[in-house]
Chains A and B, each alone.
Chain A
Amino acid sequence: MLIGTALMTVALAVAPLVGVYPVFLMKALCFALFACAFNLLLGFGGLLSFGHAMFLGTAGYVCAHAAKVWGFPPELAIATGTAAAALLGAVVGSLAIRRQGIYFAMITLAVAQMMYFFYLQTPFTHGEDGIQAVPRGHLFGLLDLSQPLTIYYTVLTIFVGAFLLIYRIIHSPFGQVLKAIRENEPRAISLGYDADRYKLLAFVLSATLAGLAGATKAIVFQLASLTDVHWSMSGEVVLMTLLGGMGTIFGPVVGAFVIAGLENYLAGFGEWVTIITGVIFVVCVLAFRRGIVGELAAWWARRAA
């Protein structure tokens, strides 16, 4: 696992130097962080949220507003955006964990749609235009983030830091209890664990990290728009996780890079992106439920045995 993380970090650190387009990499990294945060909730908590875009989008809007209107430096703007997502996560989480399974998915979807209409109408988001020309500023007053490589390595640092944090959470006693609740909730409760508290904490952590992804994305693209709060974005993160392999550590990263690459490639084909996204969903659910990383791991285990 540590070797894998090291290899991934080195590969990502070298990639822009050997000619991979940094803006594409940064987009993929933001999505990868978003998907990892989502996977923490679905893969390890067993809770399918169909409204995770609200955390990505909320953090993006708050971060962009803080950087542009209040003149916050980038690190503070990102922190403010992330905090906003954490707060929203606490409120939504305490509502949504009252129901399970399919209801949980429907509730998160409905609340996210409510947030979408809120952002569509409230003046500070500028409706259809979004918050444009967000200043990138200087990180800690020192590093000029308008330099392509500086911002790239900043994003990479944020991503690797959050990735290690998620790994740590999953392997902590908290993560183990979370898995126990996913497998058999009544038994975990009878062992004395307060299942609702664990689920709420997992929800807030996932929302916070999704927010970190959204805030970083707003600084990178200097834009916060309605796309990031729309339900199709919530669907996309489900797809990345499903395709890469839910409940695996590297799966969401792989899924995010594949989907980001696909979208880049198909950008000129209009609605075909939606259709192909749908087809991948159907194929994954019918034939490929372990995802790319899950299938590879299973193949490796079979070969070793």
Chain B
Amino acid sequence: MQALFGQLLIGLINGAFYAMLSLGLAVIFGLLNIINFTHGAQYMMGAFCAWFLLNKAGVGYWWALLLAPIIVGAIGIVIERTMLARLYKLDHLYGLLLTFGLALIIQGVFRNEFGSSGLPYQIPSELTGGMNLGFMFLPIYRGWVIVASLVLCFSTWYVIERTKLGSYLRAATENPTLVQAFGVNVPRMITLTFGFGVGLAALAGVMAAPIYQVNPLMGADMIIVVFAVVVIGGMGSIMGAILTGFGLGVVEGLTKYFYPEASNTVIFVVMVIVLMFRPAGLFGRER
């Protein structure tokens, strides 16, 4: 029983990261129509940013939670302005190819500097230790990650689905020309949305740093799983991305307990099954 709950917890943690990353991908895709292949690299950069802040500048975890997304998001904005903005009139596949190339560059540079072994990052002192829940032992930091990512996901959902700003955003997704005609600065909105999506990836990276080690390749394999999550959920809805992310994390955790050999592949198998019966994804619309 202990082991089952242990795997469920790991599944929820992974699910939290899947949800945060696929949420960022979905927000970016909604407005830019670009699948951001650099997302995994930006998640990794978030974790490295936290490590740098702690080890080179003495800035702790809590400030890193704020600063790393801003720094990495700003880098994202530069990338959007200087490169991606040139591709909007072309086939969307070029955006995918460009961001793939950028991901290779970023990962290559970090591997050159830090090798492929991980760097440790301490859990902040406020969140060390654990709680005994009776049926299992819950390390406080892991509980914090799950709660924090839930709050983050649902606030993003709230902003996009329930506020004025979000309604501009959704309108620009449907018809950018018309929204521009109403006096909304759509290009600036696109840039900021990209920065926000990237910042979300970096934030996930900071949260991941104490759990997984800070490793140049931590995002490379993650991003492919997140792509499968996105295909399963469909890009139609923000809520869909959140639910699919957490759900698949749990499915993966359960597989680790019942049939560990398949734990690496289970998400891809789910994707194949979903494609056979609902090609648009669980929450997606055909378009």
Interface residues in chain A, defined as those with a beta carbon under 8 Å from any beta carbon in chain B: 48, 50, 95, 98-99, 101-103, 105-107, 109-111, 113-114, 117-118, 120-121, 231, 235, 238, 242, 270-275, 277-282, 284-286, 289
Contacts and interface: CB of A to CB of B under 8 A. Distances in A.
Q: Of B92, B100, B264, B275, which is in contact with the most chain A CB atoms at under 10 Å from its CB? A: B100
Given A101-B92, A281-B101, A111 B272 contact: yes
A113 B40 CA distance: 15
A95 B108 contact: no
B6 interface: no
A272 B97 CA distance: 19
24 contacts: A48-B93, A95-B275, A99-B231, A102-B93, A106-B228, A110-B231, A110-B268, A111-B272, A114-B268, A114-B272, A118-B265, A120-B264, A235-B100, A238-B97, A238-B100, A271-B111, A274-B105, A274-B108, A277-B108, A278-B101, A282-B98, A284-B101, A286-B83, A289-B90
A242 B230 contact: no
Given A98-B275, A106-B35, A274 B268 contact: no
Nearest to A51: B224
Given A98-B275, A274-B104, A286 B93 contact: no
B87 interface: yes
B218 to A, nearest CB: 15
A268 to B, nearest CB: 14
A47 B107 CA distance: 27
Interface in B211-270: 221, 224-225, 227-228, 230-231, 261, 264-265, 268-269
B112 interface: yes
B131 interface: no
Nearest to A106: B227
Contacts of A278: 101-106, 108
Nearest to B229: A110
Nearest to A107: B231
Given A99-B279, A107-B271, A121 B227 contact: no
Given A274-B107, A285-B101, A110 B93 contact: no
A78 B104 CA distance: 33
B94 A289 contact: yes
B101 A107 contact: no
Contacts of B106: 278
A101 B93 contact: yes
Nearest to A289: B94
Sort A-B residue pairs by CB-CB distance and give the 7 closest, nearest first.
A281-B101, A278-B104, A278-B105, A114-B268, A274-B108, A275-B108, A98-B279
A33 to B, nearest CB: 22
B108 A272 contact: yes
Interface string B104-133: 111111011000000000000000000000
A51 B281 CA distance: 20
A107 B270 CA distance: 12
Nearest to B278: A98
A279 B105 contact: yes
Contact of A102 (B92, B98, B107): B92
Contact of A242 (B97, B109, B231): B97
Q: Of B87, B97, B106, B225, which is in contact with the most chain A CB atoms at under 10 Å from its CB? A: B97
Contacts of A277: 101, 104, 108
Contact of B98 (A101, A109, A121, A281): A281
A114 B271 CA distance: 10
Contact of B108 (A102, A107, A118, A271): A271
A268 B230 CA distance: 38
Contacts of B227: 106, 109-110
Contacts of A98: 275, 279
Contacts of B108: 271-275, 277-278
B96 A272 contact: no
A129 to B, nearest CB: 19
B4 to A, nearest CB: 23
B275 A285 contact: no
A124 B106 CA distance: 35
Contact of A235 (B87, B104, B265, B275): B104
Nearest to A283: B101
Contacts of B35: 102, 105-106
Contacts of B181: none
Nearest to A235: B100
Contact of A109 (B97, B224, B269): B224
A105 B224 contact: no
Contact of A99 (B224, B261, B275): B275
A50 B98 CA distance: 14
B276 interface: yes
Contacts of A109: 224, 227
B164 interface: no
A106 to B, nearest CB: 4
Contacts of B92: 101-102
B228 A110 contact: yes
Given A111-B272, A121-B264, 18 more contacts: A48-B93, A50-B96, A99-B275, A99-B279, A102-B93, A105-B96, A106-B35, A106-B230, A109-B227, A113-B224, A117-B264, A121-B261, A271-B112, A272-B108, A275-B105, A282-B102, A285-B98, A289-B90
Nearest to A285: B98
